[in-house]
Each structure stands twice: as C-alpha cells, then as structure tokens.
C-alpha cells in the first residue's frame, strides 16, 4: 500500500478552506533541511502539494508513477522549483506541465516500476543556488546494506498527520538487505533488484504521507525515489524506494530520446 491518503479532498473544498492537505508520503523523525536543495520539486494540483520530484533536465522532472492517480485534471498540475517554505513563493519558479510518461510495466499493487517523467511546458531557467538540475547516477551498481542515505520532502512529520510540512524536511536512513525487507513485508510487496528498502531504527527517520516521488540520496548521489511502505517511522515496516537501476535508467534514456533526442551520456552526467 502506498503511503497515500484514502481520500483526496475535492478541489472546491481545498479552495474554500485554503488548507494544504498532505496527500502522500512525508518525513518522519527528521529535521528541517539546512541549505538549498535546488533540484527539489513540489508537484502540485491547484497549488496544493501532492508529491515530491527531482529536476533532472531543463524540461524534465523525475517522480513516482503512483502520484499520477491524484492528477484528476492534468491541466491543473504545476511544479514549484526553488522552494524551501511552500508558503513563501518568493524567488521560486512555477511551471506548467506538458506531458506525463509512465512505464507500461508499472504496477501499483506490486510497486514495480514506480517511476514517472514529467515534461514541463518549457525549459527551466537555472538559478544557481535556488534552481539546479541534479545528476543521475553514472553507475547502476547496487547500494550495499548499511549505506547511510538521506530522504527529502515536504510530507507530514508524524504518522497519521494529514497536513504537510511547510518547510523542506530531511531524515537519515540506512539501506536494508532485500532479504531482510522481504521477511519484514512477508514478500508483499516483493522487493526486487529494481527497488530498495531503508529505515532508521534509532530515530524512526522515514518517508511518510507527502514525500512520494522525492529523492533518496546516498553519498550525495541520487539513487532512488520514495515509493511507499506501511505506516511511517516503523523500522519493522521500512520505507520502499524505486531504485535507479539499469532498467530504470534505460527507460529514462528511452523517453528523453523519444521526445527530444537528448540522452544521458557519460558527458551529460
């Protein structure tokens, strides 16, 4: 089950009450991000935060495929770049979206291939510290168990909370062996080589409601996307992430080539 609410408040109710409802996974057991995270994106519907994402090219945002189910009308989907506080859009950039690309093999029940590319309606003007692309991994080598990583997002800061954090949050987690994760989840879902599990037994650090599609970074390199889990901050039910495996990097490259003949070569990385 994805870390998403069962009910998304209607656009009308949100507009009337002006309440930011946290609809996806968020950071639990973490702290406010210090310093800029210029590649971080808030994906929004009617200016309400829905999912996290990562700017990987001037016109492309990488996120989780399951976020698309909450885009009731795609023309209302925008992305906010350069933000730290969602309530302060000073010096941020809001972009309209053009198209959404999801693998045909995406399965919401098994979480397989939970990855999506969003093409923006025009290229983003990079602003050094505020807005900047991140690099995809040059290597698709697996991440060893025990590796320290950081998950980032605007999601709720405690389990069962419905309101997103206004400020960008981060939590430290450690990668778990797939065998351990499959035992904890009783192979439901099966954690494949295209997925990762991570948790923090000491702090309960985890992604939770509001962080879906956001980045998992290890050794300051993007390695995965928040996909889901069961509850928040429970080390017996660790966070599940889409890994940027060879399979997924090949798919990204295919989509970019199809749209604009841009590929992630060693030079462009």
Nearest Cα neighbor of 248 from 191, 194, 181, 179 is 194
> Is 30 strand, coil or helix?
coil
Active site residue 66: yes
Number of C-alpha atoms within 13 angstroms, CB side, residue 39? 21
- Select which of 113, 114, 194, 206 is catalytic: 114
Buried b (16+ CB within 10 A) or exposed e, 226-235: bbbbbebbbb
DSSP letter at 179 equals H
What is the Cα–Cα distance from 11 to 178, expressed in whole angstroms?
39
- Select which of 24, 66, 84, 248 is catalytic: 66
On the 0-12 / 13-18 / 19+ scale of CB atoms within 10 A, 161 is middle
- Select which of 212, 227, 245, 248 is catalytic: 212
Indicate which residues carry an active-site annotation: 66, 114, 212
């Amino acid at each position: 089950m994805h870390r998403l609410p069962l009910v998304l408040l209607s656009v009308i109710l949100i507009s009337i009450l002006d309440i930011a409802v946290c609809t996806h996974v968020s950071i639990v057991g973490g702290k406010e991000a210090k310093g800029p995270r210029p590649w971080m994106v808030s994906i929004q519907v009617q200016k309400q935060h829905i999912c996290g994402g990562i700017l990987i090219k001037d016109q492309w945002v990488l996120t989780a495929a399951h976020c698309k189910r909450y885009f009731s009308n795609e023309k209302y989907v925008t992305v906010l770049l350069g933000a730290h506080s969602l309530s302060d859009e000073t010096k941020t950039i809001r972009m309209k979206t053009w198209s959404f690309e999801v693998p045909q093999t995406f399965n919401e029940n098994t979480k397989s291939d939970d990855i999506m590319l969003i093409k923006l309606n025009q290229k983003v003007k990079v602003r050094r510290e505020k807005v900047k692309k991140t690099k995809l991994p040059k290597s698709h080598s697996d991440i060893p168990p025990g590796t320290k990583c950081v998950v980032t997002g605007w999601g709720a800061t405690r389990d069962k909370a419905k309101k997103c954090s206004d400020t960008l949050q981060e939590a430290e987690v450690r990668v778990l062996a797939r065998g351990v994760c499959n035992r904890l989840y009783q192979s439901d879902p099966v954690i494949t080589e295209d997925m990762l599990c991570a948790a923090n037994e000491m702090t309960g650090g985890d992604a939770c409601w509001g962080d879906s599609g956001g980045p998992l970074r290890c050794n300051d390199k993007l390695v995965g996307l928040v996909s889901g889990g069961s509850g928040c901050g429970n080390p017996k039910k660790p966070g599940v992430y889409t890994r940027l495996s060879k399979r997924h990097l090949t798919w990204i490259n295919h989509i970019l080539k199809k749209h604009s003949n841009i590929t992630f070569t060693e030079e462009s990385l």
